[in-house]
Every structure is written in structure tokens, then in C-alpha cells.
Amino acid sequence: MTARILNGNAIRDQIYSEIHSQIQQLTAVGIWPGLATVLVGENPASKIYVNSKIAACEQLGLASSRFTPPSTVTTEELLELVCELNARDDVDGILVQLPLPPQVDSKKVLEAVDPAKDVDGFHPVSLGHLVSGRPGLVACTPLGVMEILRRSEVTLEGANAVVVGRSDIVGKPMALLLMHAHATVTICHSKTRDLAGVVRRGDIVVAAIGRAGMVLPDWIQPGATVIDVGTNRVTDAAEAERLFANFPERLAKFREKGSALVGDVHPDAVQVAGALTPVPGGVGPLTIAMLMSNTVKAARLRRMNSVMQPAAARKP
């Protein structure tokens, strides 16, 4: 058996088409959704991430603005910038790219973002809404995973779902979204007793632990749906041999480039799982797509009422 590959790029394109229509509806009533990104310093990986988000804005017709404080920025200076962006009516979403420099209190900065503009879904208010099942802005990666599952027609109601990883950004919100979809959810992590045995019980496995190829094929229940959230860059030749022994083309590319991207799930799991997201090309494209979706949603929630109220007031 070879797993059905859940193509994140194809699902992203479906969502982009829907977002484009939503943006047209908003611009027709004078609302131009806008995203502000804050990129501190010269971190190469962060630059790539922010550039990809700006490119997505341009592709969809979203307004975007970029702010690039130096790596010497203080917490107070960043708080002042966030305060300014909170006050700007043309900014619907604020994204503070992580990681921030060590001298900056990251939590303080993230909690300063207006919850109505928290398109990353990291604010305690956003998390509180998620816990209580109230509508709001949800962290982009877990939200993207739910879109993959829904659009791939994976049955969630009554399914045993195992989330490997307990981060505030992925693991915890992922578990809550699955619970709200009526799955029975187990959260596990590196300290879980008999981790392999717990994972093996999952009809759905979401791997978000940040360790290359940690989830081995014999951890997977035959036929399970496996969502691989991990993106790990492998540079060690012995590690590449372990991961790609049955994938000569990927091993050849590794030898050519000296590095390769791999998820948290061992590539051999494709022979056991019923469905599997690839790395790259699985969850990653959906994270950016849901950031765009959250920005449009934030614009609609924040500004539609103010646009519609004058019209409503004119009614007899």
C-alpha cells in the first residue's frame, strides 16, 4: 500500500480562489484589506518567510506594508510600533515575525497586538475564543491542517486523533480544533510513556514535534491519515542515509545540495499510511493561505459594521 498524497499546493490554490472572491466583495464596498509585517533584524529564514507572505499578498491583491526595525530594537520601541499599527485603520492584520532578538520580551510584544488584528492567532484572547468555541482568529498552521482534512474528505467525527507536540502555536490549538470537530484527541510529546504505542492508536496523526523523521513507520496504524507539520533541514550525511535509504532520488539531491527538507515523520511511512502530507508541499502552503484568509476575515469583522451602519441608519 502506498499512501494517498495530500497535495497542499493544490488545496492552497482552491483557497486562494475563494479569498480572491472575498477580497473583490470587500473592495466593492470600499474596504481594502491590509496586512502589516514586522521583521526585526537580518535573520535569513525570517526574511524568506516574510517575503513569501508579501508575495502572497501581491498575488491576491491584498495591501501590505513591511516594517524592519534593526536587531538592536528594544521591547519599548517595538511596543510603540505595534501601538501605531493598532491605531491605523488601513491595517487589518499585524504579523510580528518570530523569533525576536533575545533582548526583546516576545510575549509582551505579541500580547500588545490588538486581538482584532491578531492574524497569527497567538494572542491570549484569540486562544480563549478557541477554547470556548467562539468565532475568532485561529493560529494559521492548525487552521491549515483542518482545511487539508476537510477538503480531503477525511472523517473527523468519532475518529481517534493523536497530536504529537504540545506547543502553543501548533499542538494545543490543533487539539482544540480537532475536539471541536468531534474527534477524540490525545496530545502526546517527547516525555509520553510508550509514545509509539500511543501514536499507533491514531486514525489521524498530526506530527508537530520538530525532530526530523522521529515518527517511524511502525508507529503508524495501517491506513491512518498522517499530517506532517515538521520542516527540518537535514545536513548530516548519516541522517540523510537513514531517512532516504528507500528514496534514491531524494538521496541523490541531498548529496548534490548538501541539505534536504524533511518532516517529523519518516518518509517510509508512505508505505503504511492511508493518506499523507508531503514535506515540502503539504502543510506549509496552507499556513500562508490561512494567514491571508485571517487577514480578510479580520477586515470583514472590523470594518463591515462601520460600512453597513450608515446604510442601515437610512432605512425607515
Question: Domains in the chain, ordered, with CATH?
Answer: 29-114 (3.40.50.10860), 140-284 (3.40.50.720)
Q: Which pLDDT score is estimated for 307?
A: 53
Q: Which residue has the higher pLDDT, 9 or 310?
A: 9
Active site residue 120: yes
Active site residue 22: no
Active site residue 53: yes
Percent of the chain with pLDDT over 90: 91
pLDDT digits (tens, 9 = 90+) for 118-129: 999 999 999 999
- In the set 92, 97, 203, 297, the catalytic residue is 97
Is the pLDDT reported for residue 91 higher than 50?
yes
Average pLDDT over residues 191-215: 97
Is the pLDDT reported for residue 314 higher than 50?
no
- In the set 92, 114, 118, 120, the catalytic residue is 120
Among the ranges given (88-92, 101-105, 131-135), the one the predictor scored with the smallest mean pLDDT: 131-135
pLDDT digits (tens, 9 = 90+) for 258-294: 999 999 999 999 999 999 999 999 999 999 999 999 9
Is the pLDDT reported for residue 70 higher than 90?
yes
- In the set 53, 117, 172, 297, the catalytic residue is 53
Q: Which pLDDT score is estimated for 76?
A: 97
Judged on CB neighbours under 10 Å (0-12, 13-18, 19+), 227 is buried
Which residue type is seen at 137? L
Summary mean pLDDT of the chain = 94
Is the pLDDT reported for residue 48 higher than 70?
yes
At residue 305 the predicted structure's pLDDT band, cuts being 50, 70 and 90, is low
Average pLDDT over residues 145-172: 97
Q: Which pLDDT score is estimated for 302?
A: 87
Global pTM reads 0.93
